[in-house]
Structure 1
Amino acid sequence: MHADASTLSALSLYLSMAAFALACSITPGPVNIVVLTSGVQLGFRRSLGLVLSATAGFCLLLLLIGLGLHQLLDDFPHLTVIIQWAGVAFLLFMAFKLFTSSGDLGNRDRKQRRLSFAGPSALTGAVMQWINPKAWLASIAGMGAYAANGSTSLIWEFTAIYFVICFGSIACWAYAGAFLSRFLGEPARIRLFNRVMAGLLAASALYLVLE
């Protein structure tokens, strides 16, 4: 009976961790907007590198926060401001690249792809996670909720669960973008889509400034 109660308690904890990860990962945000755009530009398979990068970047941050990185924010409070403005600058840069995109899909030759925006690089996802104040706060909140007792095993378990849920959630945005590309087709429609996404990224940057 005691073993069954312990099993149910652990299962309840893991389900709660998974629900937290899903709520944070599946909802719209700058990273998911970029992944959606990548799905439109490059297709699902070629966007998986970006999906993996964003997932690994966040989960590494989550793990390090659990192992004590959050103390940096306590010891150096100005670090939050630096992260915030770095995030604003990067979001505006991505918005500019999207807004000025030619609208061609990612089936051009390699030389042409170097000349204009044909989807973000794989490292973009990880960079966006580390300069996103929301990612730091979500990591601190998550670890505070599920590993506040400092248990190393819980920190690793939460990170592992988060990785699986986060990867699947972000991959859904890449798939949605690939699906949308079937209906956009023409460069003019792609340009319009990119500019809408650029506007959303710029709005995200403005939100960071005003918050």
Structure 2
Amino acid sequence: MNLSLSMAAFALAASISPGPVNVVALGAGARHGFARSIWFVTGATVGFTALLLLTGLGLHSITAAWPAFMDVLHWGGIAFLIYMAVMLAIDDGTLSSSGQAKPPSLLLGAGMQWINPKAWLAAAAGMGVFAGGGELGAVWHFGLIYFAVCYVSIAAWSAAGALLKTALTFPARVRLLNRALALSLVASAAYMAFGS
């Protein structure tokens, strides 16, 4: 397998697997449709790619020097996931037909990646494997491939949610989906707190 295919395979395995960002993309697609969720997808992809590139350019050495920074990100991420889970759990399940409800934003997508331990691990592991020497060409090559794969992966979760939207014509079904997504976010937060 050539280097580009290896990079793409790594990016796909890390990007398509369930995690907090993908859970939010699924919920956004179900609640707001694919087109209105694309800003979140774009933000999450840009946010992760920035993290990946900065990791390849030496961010990992800075965070190693200041472990308290990583602790703040870690516990801030847990608190944010719990907050989002509570908001999903208390939602009444009414889908707005007027389009007034706001879908998750580009900034939320980008910010979620920076508090997502899965993203930090994928960035550090990927750069360690494919650009461990810090070669600028390898860092950018991996970054470009990862951007494309990450975008398609997160968009696929949003599209899957949009396909679910037709099954969510009743508020009770939306509440059920919201609570399942909330439980998934709580499980992610619990894993971040106790499993890592």
The code of the aligned residue for 2:84 comes to M
Structure 2 equivalent of residue 98 of structure 1: 88
**TM-score of the two chains, using structure 2 as the length reference:** 0.95
Q: Work out the CA distance in 1 between the residues paired with 2:99 and 2:125.
A: 44
Query: In 2, distance between residues paired with 1:109 and 1:131?
Result: 29
Counterpart amino acid of residue 87 in structure 1: G
1:155–1:106 CA distance, 2 compared to 1 (3 A): farther
Q: Choose from 69, 72, 83 the match for 2:73.
A: 83
Q: Structure 2: give runs of 5+ residues left out of the alignment.
A: none
Q: What is the aligned counterpart of 1:169 among 150, 153, 157?
A: 153
Q: CA deviation at 1:108?
A: 2.9
Counterpart of 2:106 in 1: which secondary structure? coil
Question: Which of 174, 178, 181 lines up with 2:165 in the alignment?
Answer: 181
Identify which of 2, 16, 21 aligns with 1:31.
21
Q: CA deviation at 1:19?
A: 0.3
- Classify the secondary structure of the residue corresponding to 1:157: helix
Pick from 194, 198, 204 the counterpart of residue 178 of structure 2: 194
Task: Give 1:12-51 correspondences, 5 Å limit.
Answer: 12-51=2-41
Distance 1:88 1:19 in 2: 29
Structure 1 unpaired stretches of 5+: 1-10
**Among the aligned pairs, what percent are the same residue?**
51
**Does 66-75 or 171-180 show the bigger shift?**
66-75
Please state how far the C-alpha of 1:192 moved relative to its aligned partner.
1.0
Q: 2: distance between equivalents of 1:101 and 1:166?
A: 29
**Counterpart of 2:60?**
70
Amino acid at match of 1:41: R
Q: 1:109 Cα shift?
A: 5.1
Per-residue Cα deviation, 1:122-153 (whole angstroms, up to 9, x for no partner): 32211110011221121111111000122101
Is residue 109 of structure 2 the alignment partner of residue 125 of structure 1?
yes
- Relative to structure 1, is the Cα distance of residues 103 and 20 closer, same or farther in structure 2, using a 3 angstrom cutoff? same
**SS of structure 2 residue aligned to 1:123:** helix
Q: How many residues align?
A: 195
| RMSD across aligned positions (CA) | 1.3
Of 134-143 and 155-164, the range deviating more from structure 2: 134-143
